[in-house]
Amino acid sequence: MNAGTGTADHEALNRLLKPRTIAVVGLSDTSNFRDYVSPTLDGDAEVFFVHPKHATVLGRPTHPNLTSIGRPLDAIISMMAAERSTLLVEEAAGLDVGGLVCIAGGFAETGADGAALQSRMVTAARSAGMPVVGPNGLGFINVPRRVSLTIASPHKRRPGGISVVSQSGALLSGVAMAAWEHPGCGLNLLISAGNEAVTDLADYVDFLAADPDTRAIGLVVEKIRRPAAFFAAARRATEAGKPIAVLKLARSNRSQQMAASHTGALTGDAWVYDVALRQAGVTVVADPEELVDRLALFEQLDPANWSAVEGLGVITMTGGFASLSVDLAEADGMSIPPLSELEPWVRDNIPGVTVANPLDTTGFGAAIWPEVVRRYATCAESDALLYLHPLADEDESDSTVQLVEEFAKAAQDAGKPFVVTNCSGAPGRFVLDRLPSGKVAAGRGLRPTLRGLQTLGAFVRHREEAARREDTPVPPSTRRPDVATVAVAEGQMLPFGPTLEMIRAAGVPIAPYHLVAAGDDVTGAPFPGPYVVKLADVAHRTEHGAVRLGVTADGLGDAVAELRALAAVHGLPPLVAVQPQVEILGEAFIGVQGESELGPLVVFGLGGVFVEVLQRVGGRMAPLSARDARSLIDEFADAKVMHGFRGRPAWDLDALAEILVAAGRLAVSGRGWIESLDLNPLVFTPDGFVAVDALCLVRAPERRH
């Protein structure tokens, strides 16, 4: 294990998180945490207590130190302060120990002295290949094995297959409480990551991807410290059939600030997390309840009964429930198709009803319920079925029991997700007891259940797509152009000419241009007019009135002279750019962020002022595959301007996708020096797309003129 940089050994983590021998160090009978650890005594692990001052703890004899136990130890928990915990790790490093839990604070989060202690801990753990949960966390709980090496409050937890790792200790308890309220949600491992000094989020996800006891993974994330390792582990989880849902904290930057027209102002860190996680097939959630709801169906349904949920059938007995299901599904971007195959049968058998999906069986439904369920279970257009009804404990009756039993019976050989939900909250015990394991799942109210089905379908589709996807080649790094930069308000800007040549070399078509330096005679451009004439090396030309449109060949000299005079007045670089004025049929915006918290990024939106007025952009982490590029464009499928509008032709979306892929290659190859790069506007002309302007901010030190 490379401590501090991850790659934890699976065998060592398995010993730590599924221990057979445990040492509890520093706990006494007067400790506030004695009752949090004591449930471990009811499990099947052998527990030793270490305390030099107390002969017994929780009725068990103690040992003065680890060495005196004389046994291999799978897991150790330190209940001591930072310095003593560090000494304990150093002692454990010389023994046969699987791993250690450190709950103490006082490490790197407190300053230089704490950082020195943490460095000693990392060095000792690294030398022994020993994972460490924490420090500065709540420890972990293995629910099925009744291992409670934690100071987390002892909330109720039912055993199951959902494992959760949280960088916020308190929210680990929040997830546990939400899981208890969902009758179909059982927990496997609950891990409080703490400072992640030795073992980090990527290590845990990598372990859980291979863990046979984990069926789905929930994460509470403040920061992903090793993005490449984390997303590689997420891919392994996908391959193993284990979905991931992430509750991302620190979202105050989620709103995109549009005050400046460069990519760095468009992309806050929280937004980048959304882009990267969703691109990796990870579901992003807003709170602990949603995290549980999104994963609960994976816990309950056998993978053989999962589907893409592109043909969800909804059956109920009231019009209100049917209508609400459509409204809520549409609000969350989920489709409930009409299932036209069933419409003739519905019209012939249920008086007054013409809509087959969602189906309101009205008062006639109970009499033909077995046939209703059979028809919908075998419908070729439906790949999932939801039964929605008042199903609280108070609703138990012979007729309601029969409805549930017929639904469960139809699920036996259907090979698709069958879900039962109460109209609000969890179904009663009489329902849960009648649901065949792996065949029918219980929801927790309509909207949470629809979200669970949406996540199930999205994961199935992502997994199938990921299995077909070829790795996108990562281009080699390139040096930034060897030219002096220009100081602008946002930082250091690459000059206009070198920027256009750089993007042309990357595969982005550019408009022709002609540069006129200070003192040069204006003898005409090497292409016909009319022209656009502008100060070349100015970041925001419109603010300075530094652009002239529709300039004729005869007026070219006057336009250049005006711009030179303007540059002299405002202290701007005097270089002038001349370009042919093209017919613009549409404008797009493409941005590159050379380095975000999670890596290089490509941003796309409608160009010109639209990106600021609409405050809407999409993004993908780079490099992009052709499939990534098309899916990014598809996020703007509702933008009529791209698909032909008011007599204008539709955009060449294949060419646009190729430009996005080229921008992704540039984002990766220039990540060491590109701060941001904007192609705004990238214009669509009768001859295709061309970049007529670009702004590149670089991180390299300024080179003086």
If asked whether residues 62 and 103 sit together in one domain, one would say yes
DSSP class of residue 642 equals G
- Identify the domain boundary among 257, 276, 298: 298
Q: What is the structure's pLDDT at 250?
A: 80
Residue 267 has pLDDT above 70, yes or no: no
pTM of the entire structure?
A: 0.92
Q: In whole angstroms, what is the distance from residue 511 CA to residue 582 CA? A: 9
pLDDT at residue 456 above 50?
Answer: yes
Please report, to the nearest 10 degrees, the dihedral formed by the alpha carbons of residues 27, 31, 37, 41 taken in order: 70
For residues 70-76, give the mean pLDDT: 97
For residue 585, the Cα-to-chain-centroid distance in whole angstroms is: 35
Average pLDDT over residues 208-222: 97
Average pLDDT rounded to a whole number, residues 302-313 = 98
Compute the average pLDDT of residues 642-653: 86
| Residue 428, in any domain of the structure | yes
Separation between Cα atoms, residue 435 and residue 419, nearest integer Å = 9
Q: What is the pLDDT of residues 14-29, one digit of tens each?
A: 999 999 999 999 999 9
Range of the domain at 387: 301-468
Q: Tell me, yes or no, whether 312 and 445 share the same domain.
A: yes
User: Is residue 4 domain-resident?
Assistant: no
Which CATH number fits the domain that encloses residue 331? Answer: 3.40.50.261
**Count: domains in the chain:** 4
Report yes or no on 64 lying in a domain.
yes
Question: Do the domain assignments include residue 640?
Answer: yes
Which CATH number goes with the domain that contains 628? Answer: 3.30.470.20
Cα(102)–Cα(195) distance, rounded to whole angstroms? 10
Categorize the per-residue pLDDT at 471 as very low, low, confident or very high, splitting at 50, 70 and 90: confident
Pairing mode of beta strands 216-221, 244-248 = parallel
The yes-or-no verdict on residue 704 having pLDDT over 50 is: no
Percent of the chain residues topping a pLDDT of 70: 94
Percent of the chain with pLDDT over 90: 84
Q: 89 lies in a domain?
A: yes
Cα–Cα distances in angstroms (integers) from residue 478 to residues 229, 575, 668, in the given order: 23, 27, 9
Phi-psi bin for 419: left (phi > 0), alpha (psi -120 to 50), beta? beta
Mean pLDDT (the chain) is 92
pLDDT of residue 643: 86
Name every residue whose Cβ is closer than 8 Å to that of residue 558 and which is 6 or more positions away in sequence. Answer: none
Q: Looking at the structure, tell me whether residues 440 and 520 fall in a common domain.
A: no
Q: Tell me the two tokens of residue 534.
A: 């502008």
- Count Cα atoms within 13 angstroms, Cβ side, for 474: 8
Residue pair 176/190 in contact (Cβ under 8 Å)? The answer is yes
- Among 234, 237, 218, residue whose Cα is nearest residue 175: 218
How large is the angle between the packed helices 82-92 and 112-128, nearest 10 degrees?
20
Residue 519 pLDDT: 80
- Where are any strands of DSSP class E within 72-214? 73-78, 97-102, 132-133, 139-142, 147-150, 159-166, 187-192
Q: Are 449 and 417 in contact (CB under 8 A)?
A: no
Average pLDDT over residues 528-557: 94
Report yes or no on 675 lying in a domain. Answer: yes
Question: Domain for residue 147, yes or no?
Answer: yes
Give the chain's largest Cα–Cα span: 101
Range 498-502 average pLDDT? 97
For residues 66 and 543, which has the higher predicted lDDT (pLDDT)?
66
Section 509-530 average pLDDT: 89
Q: 619 and 665, same structural domain?
A: yes
* pLDDT score of 262 more than 70: no
Residues 287 and 319 in one domain: no
What's the confidence (pLDDT) of residue 455? 98
Reported as a pLDDT band with limits 50, 70 and 90, residue 259 is very low
| Alpha carbon distance 518, 521 (integer Å) | 9
Residues 389-438 pLDDT 10s = 999 999 999 999 999 999 999 999 999 999 999 999 999 999 999 999 99
pLDDT of 317 > 60? The answer is yes
Mean pLDDT of 476-486: 92
Alpha-carbon distance 398 to 693, whole Å? 73
Same domain, 195 and 310: no
Split at pLDDT 50, 70, 90, the class of 1 is: very low
Contact 104, 82 (CB under 8 A): yes
- Pick from 298, 321, 337: which residue ends a domain? 298
d(CA 611, CA 265): 12
Do 148 and 28 share a structural domain?
yes
Give the CA count within 13 Å in the CB-facing half-sphere of 325.
Answer: 33
Residue, of 705 and 8, whose pLDDT is higher: 8
One domain, residues 545 and 622: no
Classify 208 as helix, strand or coil: helix
Between 256 and 89, where is the model more confident? 89
Are residues 575 and 586 located together in one domain of the fold? no
* pLDDT, mean of residues 118-134: 97
Which CATH number covers residue 572? 3.30.1490
Q: Place 263 in a pLDDT band, splitting at 50, 70 and 90.
A: very low
Residue 138 and residue 62 share a domain: yes
Q: How far apart are CA 523 and CA 512, in angstroms?
A: 17
Within a domain: residue 3? no
Q: What is the DSSP letter of 243?
A: -
Q: Are 273 and 404 contained in the same domain?
A: no
The Cα 558–Cα 691 span in angstroms is 26
Same domain (yes/no): 419, 550: no
Q: How many CB atoms lie within 10 A of CB 179?
A: 30
Name the token pair of 641: 């301007």
